[in-house]
Structure 1
């Protein structure tokens, strides 16, 4: 092997990756701006950009006036160079979406489910993959990959451990790969919400943040110095299973007193029923909305919601004291429903539990990308691979 040739090739790919990532995350950018941002010489930027344009990865996107010279041509990643698919595996629904590289949704498929059994998940994700490709009218060979956000811990072999779902070492990546030639990427759903919000939403510009997902269950993405903190074996971020009450309510994971048992939608509705509350809705999300709507007329509903805000605030305060984030972003369908009505009350309650100095340094915001941001975040997994590889699309045999 020619070590020098390998080193030069790797350096070139690394520089392409730096340029492509800058264009994608911060573009459109001019060649001059790229040189300033990447510290690469103007000649290197010009040569590598020419390569990327010739390969169709990058395209010109208009121009801007420059001081005393010719207008500067702006560059962007070509939206239709390739396509990506993201899937959210929820506890009551599976959503699959197809995007271009500008992350514009071109097709969507939804499948309600009763219980997220692995075989059911695989069936609907693959059905959704085929459906969105057909609806968008794109060639399967132009799909970079399928990213999937799922509850639980996802190890390096795409094996899922989801205690609350009853999943023990489920080889979900392998099961999905058996049904398609499109490369499969898996990660935790809260991490995918976090990645979406950090790239495109309320987390932009923050280097240390927590993106909290509150739905049927509860999780969080911990971002430290711009990167997701995963811990020793990728299980960091299981904030929902932080003990909030010693000897408290039993959680779905089997432990007692977990935060999820008090602020997850399933736990909140169970506490409401135990307190004598009632409603006509059968669907969990509709029942949660019904509970919130009853606050003005039902003392039981008002107490349950007030307690829920208190428990959520205590959970946030623990994060403030423990990891000192500059931003906490609240998302997930139940989190958004609560935050849209009670965000000022939540912020005030966090201040009562957190230490003054780190509380003064944090802002608490709502997700900007809506309740379906997990699928968007999952779709960034194959995009990330493209950026890291400098725009080189690997053969399908090299997943």
Structure 2
């Protein structure tokens, strides 16, 4: 299935990677959707070894720097097992010793970390106006970044052109790293469904795009993985950000579109084919404002950037652009005492509180995280009001059981989460 390239195993085609990725990450048989039946023997031992290896590698990536003792404890392994796996990963060049710390009377304790240049991963934040493509090393440090796009919403074909242009630019600047690129992760604006054969399709109804097979978006032979942008943001927060260390969380993305990642028992909720938790198209008003999806009264029709600026413009507001600065102007104008701006901001906070308060009642999260560029801007100065409003729109018990946090990574969150998709595939890869 694979050939050796540098320190990592590279799959021969994106399609093949999709097949084994599903086989190794989905604990169901493809047709029955029931747990697979294992017979005791070599296959069970191999599966356990693979699972333990993946757990150790993930823990090292999550920790950034750790020890064999911490790995054994956190992964539920014996010291001997943890040491053997560490030795194997070091021989493959994926991890390295970065130093040591003193112990109580014994030998110094080795510190272990991912080897930064052993592998690279690409994460892409695909927006309706363009794409941000980011190259990360194996310690998840951003190495390079390229943006391609314009200032207006574009058709699907243009987005594919933007993607390939930006990736080509990164390749040109990083040829010495390219043979160690694990894959490309895409955070997309719409529903990303995974078919029975492992292929993926994007359905971006709100943008009036046709159904797009993910395999058609990017040229070349690097494996490609895709997910909804809000889920990619939630993945980044779950691994490294504000949702880290909790089992139940809501991670809201507010931008031109509105989305939500729901984390349950430490994993993203996906539904039957991957399109679960489309919170932006749940209703907050019966027969309310028209939404880009074609329905009325959706959360996005009140909290999406275009909806906010349209409301302010219709009320006579004047502002610069339709982005970060414009939203700041609205918030500042409201704070300065302008009644119209204050009313609009109050409506935003009330709607956000009602929409998230309902989700708090449904999911009982430990944390609620708000991100996306609109969400980040709102949280800068309105976080206390937003928190009070969410709690007032939830039942008293679940409404008092969560913490509210802003996104940890600002505008790079979706790309970071998307870059974790190839890492997850490596962690789940079968060992030979």
TM score, norm. by length of structure 2: 0.85
Q: Which residue of 1 aligns with 2:30?
A: none
Which stretch has the larger CA shift, 211-220 or 64-73? 64-73
Q: Does 1:258 align with 2:298?
A: yes
Displacement of 1:14 in angstroms is 2.4
1:1-399 correspondence to structure 2 within 5 Å: 4-113=41-150, 114-156=152-194, 157-171=199-213, 173-177=214-218, 179-279=219-319, 281-295=320-334, 296=336, 298-389=338-429
Give unpaired runs (5+ residues) of structure 1.
395-399
SS at match of 1:321: helix
SS at match of 1:371: helix
Displacement of 1:134 in angstroms is 2.7
CA distance in 1, matches of 2:72, 2:378: 45
Contact 2:136 2:142 in 1 (8 A): yes
SS at match of 1:365: strand
Contact 1:107 1:133 in 2 (8 A): no
What is the aligned-residue RMSD (CA, Å)?
A: 1.9
Displacement of 1:301 in angstroms is 1.3
Which stretch has the larger CA shift, 281-290 or 252-261? 281-290
Give unpaired runs (5+ residues) of structure 2.
1-38
Deviations 1:313-332 (A, max 9, x none): 11111111111111000000
Deviations 1:98-127 (A, max 9, x none): 010111111111123322322111111111
Query: Quick one: structure 1 residues 299 and 138, their matched pair in 2 at CA, closer, same or farther if it must change by over 3 Å?
Result: farther
SS at match of 1:167: coil
Deviations 1:219-271 (A, max 9, x none): 00000010000112211121111110111111111111111111111111111
TM score, norm. by length of structure 1: 0.92
Which stretch has the larger CA shift, 347-356 or 320-329? 347-356
Query: Quick one: structure 1 residues 288 and 36, their matched pair in 2 at CA, closer, same or farther if it must change by over 3 Å?
Result: closer
Contact 1:245 1:258 in 2 (8 A): yes
Deviations 1:141-184 (A, max 9, x none): 1111111100111111220011101124211x21134x111111
